[in-house]
Amino acid sequence: MTVSGGRRLHLAAALDGSGWHPAAWREPGARPAELLTAGYWADLVTEAEGGLLDFVTFEDALSLQSDRRQHPDTRTDRVRGRLDAVLIAARVAPLTRHIGLIPTVTVTHTEPFHVSTAIATLDWVSSGRGGVRVKVSARQDEARHFGRRELAAGDNAIPDLFAEAADYVEVVRRLWDSWEDDAEIRDAATGRFVDRDKLHYIDFAGRWFSVKGPSITPRPPQGQPIVSALAHRDVAYQLLASSADAGFVTPKDAASASAIVTEVRRWQEAAGRSGEPVRLFADLLVFLDDSAAAAARRRARLDDQAGAPYRSDAAIFTGTPAELADLLRNWQSAGLTGFRLRPGAIPHDLLQITRVLVPELQRRGAFRQAYESPGSSSLRSLLGLPRPASRYAAARGLEASL
């Protein structure tokens, strides 16, 4: 079935090592010895930008990759070792002009102040293409790497981690707003570099931390860089609803996509954000080839090499890019903004996305033909999100008018 016309969809690629399948590093064309080099990441992001994608995400965690949930494993046959995702994003920013850059940050063990300034700086070095995917950590091994806190057990443990994440995002966002856009005045006559009435203490005090502010970094080009999270269940949907600009969700089919969208919208209403757009992307793990049989064979070969069938939290698609295009159009009608595709193997599946899937979607009128602005794009504009005014500027304006 070919659906033509209709709303355009948005596409992102989720970059992780040599792809999401654990045996992907052994595939022809993989560059497993280069995963820690800047050149590798620059090539992947340049390829994604060539495919006109909205953004790429970079996976990260505060522990070595492991097949176990709480602890390291002892495997020697899989990719182990990684780089800090924020710094990868910053490293590739000057080499690209349009594509959004969304690194993963673990909020459970890091400082909201440092992360706020880091993402603001990513936004500065990319001229407005920065974002962040926030992630909580319930792993015991990661807690031991910091030695600062015992992870709570019991029913409230996970909800508490997400509640802390919401506080964290609140601090990050307030810090971004803590400089009004026109705070820097350079008034030689009075000798003042800034108008300090336009710098604001954020005075956040919560259960887990207090942060005074203002930020050390001026308000970034997007005002508010994109905050996103991956969500599989209610507490995470609430985080999307209360705190995010974009969410990655994992429906199994069009019906479950529709159910998830409905649930997130309901939580948005509960959080008083029903009027604000939260862009929802379905995650899909993809194995793409010229024929469905070839894709299935390749996936089977990868599973053989890994010694077990690959399982994922996201739905797995195996087939041709044209078939995937059908599926995307079908699911999109559930109210999704677009899709974050996780390439099973890199470069193979990334190239299938950028060089086959994208042209296919373009032919159907379902994807952009070019980035709209010739110079450079902001991620907010790619996603159709307005640039918000600083909350403090708005408050000041109100005061002035009273």
Partner 1 sequence: MKQVHLAAHFPGVNNTTVWSDPRAGSHIEFNSFAHFARTAERAKFDFLFLAEGLRLREQNGKIYDLDVVGRPDTFTILAALAAVTDHLGLAGTINSTFNEPYEVARQFATLDHLSAGRAAWNVVTSWDAFTGENFRRGGFLPQEARYERARTFLATVMELLDSWHGDEIVADALSGQFLTRAGAGKFAHADDHFDIAGQFDVPRSPQGRPVIFQAGDSDEGREFAAAAADAIFSRHATLEAGQAFYADVKGRLAKYGRSPGQLKILPAATFVLGPTDEQARELAHEIRLQQVTGPTAIAFLEQLWNRDLSAYDPDGPLPDTDPLPGENTTARGRASVRMYRDPVATAREWRARADAEKLSIRELIIEVTGRQSFIGSPATVAATINHFVQADASDGFILVPHITPGGLDEFADTVVPLLQERGVFRTQYQGTTLREHLGLEAS
Site for partner 1 in 17-56 (CB under 8 A): 23, 25-27, 30, 32-33, 36-38, 42
Site for partner 1 (CB under 8 A): which residue of 113, 237, 281, 331?
A: 113
Range 114-143, binding partner 1 (CB under 8 A): 114, 117-118, 120-122, 124-125, 127, 141-142
194 makes contact with partner 1 (CB under 8 A):
yes
Site for partner 1 (CB under 8 A): which residue of 5, 154, 191, 275?
A: 191
Q: Convert residues 269-308 into a mask of x (bound to partner 1 by CB under 8 A) and - (unbound).
A: ------------------------------------x---
Range 334-393, binding partner 1 (CB under 8 A): none
Tokens representing 143? 């807690």
Between 71 and 355, CB nearer to partner 1: 71
* Shortest Cβ 220–partner 1 spacing (Å): 9
Q: Convert residues 138-177 into a mask of x (bound to partner 1 by CB under 8 A) and - (unbound).
A: ---xx-xxxxx-----------------------------
Between 330 and 376, CB nearer to partner 1: 376
402 makes contact with partner 1 (CB under 8 A):
no
Between 184 and 276, CB nearer to partner 1: 184
179 makes contact with partner 1 (CB under 8 A):
yes
Range 69-88, binding partner 1 (CB under 8 A): 72-84, 86-88
192 makes contact with partner 1 (CB under 8 A):
yes
Amino acid at 381: S
Amino acid at 197: D
Only segment of 92-100, 236-244, 294-302, 320-328 that touches partner 1 (CB under 8 A): 92-100
Between 110 and 256, CB nearer to partner 1: 110
* Shortest Cβ 29–partner 1 spacing (Å): 10
* Shortest Cβ 78–partner 1 spacing (Å): 6
Site for partner 1 (CB under 8 A): which residue of 170, 181, 195, 276?
A: 195
